[in-house]
Amino acid sequence: MERSGGTEETDDSSILIPLNEVRRERLGMPVTFQRRELDQILRIYGRMVAANEWRDYAIDHLADRAVFSVFRRTSETPLYRIAKTPALARKQGVWSVISSTGTILRRGHDLTKVLTVFDSKLRLVKA
């Protein structure tokens, strides 16, 4: 079936808008981590503490993003920052892992895949 005028009509009813994001923007509330997101992050954090790599963390809830910062020592700058930026949901992805130098190590839409940057690599050990 051909449409008249050569223009395509778009159906905006299929766009999903999370109501919590709309409410947060309207009321000026900060971006926060959900329970499942924080659970995944703290699971990685616990594994790295057990490996004696990390010692402390901080959580910041800002107007445009939520940040989980990881420290080797409390007095230092963060080794890594795991950031949730909802404004980038339709672009590069909500999640990013940022190193202490500001380099983005991994970015994406799925937190589980983004956190794989912390998976340990297998190394050859000579006997």
At 84, is the secondary structure helix, strand, or coil? Answer: strand
| Number of residues written out for the chain | 127
For the chain, 127 residues long, the average pLDDT of each consecutive 10-residue run is 51 63 68 89 91 90 90 84 87 89 90 87 61
Q: Collect all residues with Cβ–Cβ distance below 8 Å to 120 and sequence separation of at least 6.
A: 51
**So what's the pLDDT on residue 1?**
46
Vertex 55: Cα angle to 58 and 70 (nearest 5): 40
What is the arrangement of strands in the sheet containing 95-99, beginning at the earlier edge strand? 56-61, 66-71, 80-84, 95-99, 104-108
